[in-house]
Amino acid sequence: MQLIIANKNYSSWSMRPWLFLTQHGIPFEEIRIPLYTPESEARLRQYSPSGLVPALLDAHLAVWDSLAICEYLAEIYPHSHGWPADRAARAVARAVSAEIHSGFTALRSSLTMNLKARYRWQQCDAAVMQDIARIEAIWALCRNNYGQQGPWLFGEFSIADAMFAPVATRFVTYSVPVSAQSRTYVDTVYALPAFQHWYDAALRETEVISRYELSDRERLA
């Protein structure tokens, strides 16, 4: 299988299935296409029917979209336990994954993923603050009700964690003040070996995408 991704520093959608594959030791070849270069669009179209990353190629099948890729992988690699075994937990895991997949546009557009950067916390507009509060509420709900068997949202690492991992990095990048429980979850994401591999590679990238570098915030790193 081949996974088409973009810059590890910036591409939050790419990170999700990459983490899922790597965490479960599923062999794949990574094809990295940096975004917003003169060749990006043509190269993306060569692999991805939507022209977006991530895309997974498995023989003649192309699966685009982060959540669809994770679902596909969970079906063909049952050892990955993509969703929790308990039906109620599984329904909630699907609901929160769908919610992050389709929502949080204020957070996504104002606090874009940028693993290398650190900004001093600065109050955001109401829509972003609402998104942050909702994410913390989701994490608290999952951890309190379904997280007894381990440190992840549903105890064991699941697709839901792959979907929320990039959000954890935004909380670090923008020094978002979060509850102790959310902080523990963020630390759990950062401690995951698969995440560490992605993060180390992101730190070594040299591309700078200026639209994702904020000039109106005080930079700490």
Ligand X SMILES: N[C@@H](CCC(=O)N[C@@H](CS)C(=O)NCC(=O)O)C(=O)O
Q: Are 128 and 106 in contact (CB under 8 A)?
A: yes
Q: Could you say whether residue 53 binds ligand X (CB under 6 A)?
A: yes
Min separation Cβ 41 and ligand X, Å:
6
Min separation Cβ 12 and ligand X, Å:
6
Classify strands 55-58 and 2-5 as parallel, antiparallel or unpaired: antiparallel
Q: Is the Cβ of residue 70 or residue 178 nearer to ligand X in the bound state? A: 70
Give the Cα separation of 133 and 178 in Å (integer).
9
Q: Is the Cβ of residue 52 or residue 178 nearer to ligand X in the bound state? A: 52
Please, which of residues 24-43 interact with ligand X by CB under 6 A? 35
User: Which of 9, 22, 23, 66 is in the footprint of ligand X by CB under 6 A?
Assistant: 66
**16-26 CB burial, b ≥16 within 10 A, e <16:** bbbbbbbbbeb
Residue 105 buriedness (CB in 10 A; 0-12 / 13-18 / 19+) = exposed
Min separation Cβ 120 and ligand X, Å:
25
Token pair of 146 as six digits: 């379904």
Q: Could you say whether residue 19 binds ligand X (CB under 6 A)?
A: no
The contact set with ligand X (CB under 6 A) reads 6, 11-14, 35, 52-54, 65-67, 101
